[in-house]
Structure 1
């Protein structure tokens, strides 16, 4: 791995663990195993490196979500696969957690990749909901954009509930509840089995 890559990956890890303020240039260099001055040789400074790290995190999340939502299956199955995909629930969403960092939210430049990524996930979900409506799988009264916002809010809120309780069960409950609502909207009532999410 090149020095540039090590710096970006180290910054991503530190932002996740400590937030922007706690991610000092010294800590980045130590984690990356890079010499003094390496950061300023490859980047303008900490904000520039942090932006590269946030963009990388956002790109990876979007790619993984797009792969799940673009897989074969009915609209309901693809939404279920997205909701039940393997996650480290107690660590939280790598992009969603960035919204809790006041320094990142205060910076329009650092916030932009976060907003764009969450917006793109919402667009993908909305398209699948609309597809399901057209196929008669979902109730015609469902609004694609609003339902997509609900799905995304359930995921992000599920992380918060799980972290607060110290158990993935809260996330699983939120997912199962939402899937039950989507099933009911299709006119096919029935319990949705609970899963254990890591």
Structure 2
């Protein structure tokens, strides 16, 4: 991994662990093993590096989700694969946690990849649910937009509840509950 990639990877980890304010240039340099000169050679400053790191986390989240969404199986099976995929639940979502960071949310450039990711995720789930409704797998009364929004909210809320309880089981119960509501619409 070259220096630029080490800087991005280290910043991603630190943002996930500490948030924007807690991710100092010195901490990034220490974790990445890169010097100050290298950091400023590749990035204009902390905001530029943070944007690269947030964008990379967002891209990874979309890529992992798309692997399940475009995989084999029915619509419900693909959504189930996404909801049940392996996650580090107690660390929370690396993108979702940024919504609680006032410095990220106050900066339109840093906020954009977070917002775009959740818009993409909701839209992608909406499309899958509409597909399932259209092909007769799901009941015609199912609201794809509302259901997709609820599924994203359950995942993000599941992370919060699991962290509060210090138990990944809580996240699993939230997913099971969401899937129970979804499968009630299978025809």
TM-score range, shorter chain: over 0.9
Structure 1 counterpart of 2:143: 143
Residue 137 of structure 1 aligns to a residue whose secondary structure is coil
Residue 139 of structure 1 aligns to a residue whose secondary structure is coil
- Structure 2 residue 167 is matched with structure 1 residue 167: yes
Structure 1 counterpart of 2:37: 37
Q: Normalising by the residue count of structure 1, what TM-score does the alignment of the two structures yield? A: 0.92
Structure 2 counterpart of 1:83: 83
2:12, 2:179 → 1: CA distance? 32
Q: How many residues align?
A: 187
1:133, 1:180 → 2: CA distance? 17
Structure 2 counterpart of 1:158: 158
Question: What are the residue-to-residue correspondences of 1:94-105 with 2, within 5 Å?
Answer: 94-105=94-105
What is the CA distance between 1:36 and its match in structure 2? Answer: 2.6
2:131, 2:35 → 1: CA distance? 52
Residue 73 of structure 1 aligns to a residue whose secondary structure is coil
Structure 2 counterpart of 1:25: 25
Residue 86 of structure 2 aligns to a residue whose secondary structure is coil
What is the CA distance between 1:180 and its match in structure 2? Answer: 1.1
Question: What are the residue-to-residue correspondences of 1:107-122 with 2, within 5 Å?
Answer: 107-122=107-122
Structure 2 counterpart of 1:125: 125
Return 5+ residue gaps in structure 1 as ranges: 188-198
What is the CA distance between 1:63 and its match in structure 2? Answer: 0.3
CA deviations over 1:46-86 (Å, ceiling 9, x no partner)? 00000000000000110000011110100110111111111
Q: Normalising by the residue count of structure 2, what TM-score does the alignment of the two structures yield? A: 0.97
Q: Quote the RMSD (CA, aligned, Å).
A: 1.0
1:42, 1:85 → 2: CA distance? 34
Structure 1 counterpart of 2:46: 46
1:178, 1:14 → 2: CA distance? 31
CA deviations over 1:153-197 (Å, ceiling 9, x no partner)? 11111111111111111111111111111121225xxxxxxxxxx
2:77, 2:171 → 1: CA distance? 19
Moved over 6 A (4+): none
2:4, 2:20 → 1: CA distance? 19
Residue 65 of structure 2 aligns to a residue whose secondary structure is helix
Residue 37 of structure 1 aligns to a residue whose secondary structure is helix
Structure 1 counterpart of 2:72: 72
1:171, 1:22 → 2: CA distance? 26
